[in-house]
Amino acid sequence: MLIPTAPSTEEFAFSPFAPRLPEVRALAELEARGGPDEQAAWLAMEGIRGQRNSMTCCPVVRYLRRKLGALFIVDPSPKVGLVRDRWTLAAVAELPPGVNELALRFDAGRYPGLVDNENED
């Protein structure tokens, strides 16, 4: 499996324009729902589930895909990347601390109600 390479930090990750990126705003909205447990409960209520240990099918990625209609990946750095095409990242943003903790807890099996083992993508 090929993993997309991230653009340089000068271009995207720490750009003064990063807060204006739609994915940054969407992640801030998820973070504003409370801590990781509250975020997980809200995602479950919305029917957003995912696959554990998946960069492309975790609940955070599926939330972003539903909200913004674009393909994203989440990697353990903790960053989220907007995929421009199959192999190229168009932008990279930091995950908010609570959303990152949600992703880590989900991968560790803490939220079994969010697990969807079917490949929907």
- 3-25: average pLDDT: 52
> Is residue 85 assigned to a domain?
yes
| DSSP category for residue 6 | P
Which of 114 and 70 is assigned the larger pLDDT?
114
> Is residue 12 assigned to a domain?
no
Given this model, what pLDDT does residue 31 score? Answer: 94
Our count of domains for the chain comes to 1
> Is residue 36 assigned to a domain?
yes
Given this model, what pLDDT does residue 43 score? Answer: 98
> Is residue 70 assigned to a domain?
yes
> Is residue 6 assigned to a domain?
no
pLDDT tens-digit map of 65-109: 899 887 777 776 666 676 665 666 677 778 889 999 999 999 999
Residue 61: domain span: 18-109
| DSSP category for residue 18 | G
CA-CA distance, 35 to 87, in Å (whole number)? 33
Residues above pLDDT 70, as percent of the chain: 67
CA 105 from centre of chain: 13
CA-CA distance, 11 to 91, in Å (whole number)? 8
Ramachandran class of 88: left when φ > 0, alpha when ψ lies in -120 to 50, beta otherwise: beta
